[in-house]
């Protein structure tokens, strides 16, 4: 019989159903490894549900609950409260949802759970589109990016989900990516030690939707961080910002040029992207310094 100390480190078993090179599967593996076996996981219809697989052939070595698309957060909250009623207050409950189930369809229920400060960890696996239904645009899709429903480039800016979560004054929120695995796993471990609603925004490349080669997912996320397109930072109690990695502030072209979904960009669009990233980085640094901008 396996004990907690004798169990294998990996919580995700081999043989899952992710596409080759899937950044989301890499991210799930790292999150679960940091979370450990003494936990309950919720997934919703998304690539996360495909990766985890159906009963009795689930790829996760933890109790797993498949929820409806729009209710990842309240489902996790319900399980968390049920465990507490049983006196089991040492079992973390984690919800995996994609950007569609977080930025769009699940935003209302996530907001409600955060408003009540429900005791759960919520991980948004952000691959910046509805990838497993045909690569449709979502409100997490970057401006100018190609998708199946924005073939000439997305016309809207990406929703600022971290600012939305900060406005709820939850205890902890953080950004992370598969290109910085130690940072990601440390943030999951930190979230485990906090009570209340904890939110992790995890950039999760999709080789198919981003038009990159299968081995490129970690490299692309490193480029996202080093160009300030996706900074790594934490927010405590909605007000205290801490930047976790001082980037090299490389030109955004170093990130855009790696992906076929940005191949059509004009020079003007590239300059607009650079200007927006520079402004966002300036604002983030001001907040981390304790100043509004």
The verdict on residue 12 lying in a domain is no
Query: N- to C-terminal Cα distance for the chain?
Result: 57
* Gap between the Cα atoms of 192 and 73, Å rounded: 16
Main-chain phi, psi angles of 242, to 5 degrees: -130, 120
The verdict on residue 10 lying in a domain is no
The verdict on residue 2 lying in a domain is no
The verdict on residue 122 lying in a domain is yes
DSSP letter for each residue of 14-48: S---PPTT-HHHHHHHHHHHHH-SS-EEEE-TTHH
Domains held by the chain: number: 1
The verdict on residue 61 lying in a domain is yes
The residues pairing with 240 across neighbouring beta strands, listed in sequence order, are 236
The verdict on residue 247 lying in a domain is yes
Edge-to-edge order in the sheet of strand 64-66: 64-66, 40-43, 93-98, 120-126, 197-203, 172-177, 233-236, 240-243
Which residues of 150-239 form beta strands (DSSP E)?
172-177, 197-203, 233-236
**CATH number of domain containing 190:** 3.40.50.970
Q: Average model confidence (pLDDT) for the chain?
A: 94
* Gap between the Cα atoms of 167 and 235, Å rounded: 11
Residue 138: per-residue pLDDT: 97
Does the predicted model carry a pTM greater than 0.85? Answer: yes
pLDDT (mean) for 111-137: 97
What does R_g of the chain's alpha carbons equal in angstroms?
18
What residue has token string 């997934």?
A: 43
Residue 231: per-residue pLDDT: 98
CB 114 within 8 A of CB 199: yes
Residue 2: per-residue pLDDT: 45
The verdict on residue 11 lying in a domain is no
pLDDT tens figures, 155-174: 999 999 999 999 999 999 99
CB 231 within 8 A of CB 284: yes
Q: By residue range, what is the domain housing residue 110?
A: 23-288
| Confidence band for 1, pLDDT divided at 50, 70 and 90 | very low
The verdict on residue 177 lying in a domain is yes
Total count of residues recorded for the chain: 293
* 23-35 and 181-192 helices, crossing angle to 10°: 40
Residue 142: per-residue pLDDT: 98
pLDDT tens figures, 76-96: 999 999 999 999 999 999 999
CA separation, residue 168 to residues 110, 139, 161 (Å): 10, 19, 11
């Amino acid at each position: 019989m396996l004990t907690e100390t004798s169990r294998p480190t990996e919580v995700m078993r081999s043989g899952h159903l992710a596409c080759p090179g899937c950044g989301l599967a890499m991210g799930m593996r790292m999150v679960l490894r940091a979370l450990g076996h003494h936990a309950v996981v919720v997934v919703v219809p998304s690539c996360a549900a495909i990766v985890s697989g159906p009963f009795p052939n689930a790829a996760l070595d933890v109790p797993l609950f498949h929820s409806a698309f729009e209710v990842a957060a309240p489902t996790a909250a319900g399980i968390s409260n049920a465990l507490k009623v049983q006196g089991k207050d040492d079992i973390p409950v984690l919800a995996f949802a994609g950007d569609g189930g977080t930025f769009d369809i699940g935003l209302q229920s996530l907001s409600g759970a955060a408003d009540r400060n429900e005791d759960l960890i919520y991980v948004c696996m952000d691959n910046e589109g509805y990838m497993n239904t045909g690569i449709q645009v979502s409100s997490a899709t970057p401006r100018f990016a190609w998708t199946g429903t924005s073939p000439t480039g997305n016309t809207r800016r990406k929703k600022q989900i971290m600012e939305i979560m900060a406005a709820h004054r939850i205890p902890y929120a953080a950004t992370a990516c598969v290109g910085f695995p130690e940072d990601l796993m440390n943030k999951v471990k930190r979230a485990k030690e906090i009570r209340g609603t904890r939110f992790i925004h995890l950039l999760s490349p999709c080789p198919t939707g981003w038009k990159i080669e299968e081995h490129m997912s970690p490299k692309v996320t490193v480029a996202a961080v080093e160009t300030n397109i996706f900074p790594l930072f934490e927010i405590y109690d909605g007000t205290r910002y801490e930047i976790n990695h001082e980037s090299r502030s490389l030109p955004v072209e170093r990130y855009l040029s790696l992906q076929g979904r940005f191949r059509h960009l004009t020079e003007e669009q590239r300059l607009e992207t650079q200007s927006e990233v520079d402004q966002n980085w300036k604002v983030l640094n001001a907040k981390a310094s304790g100043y509004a901008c």
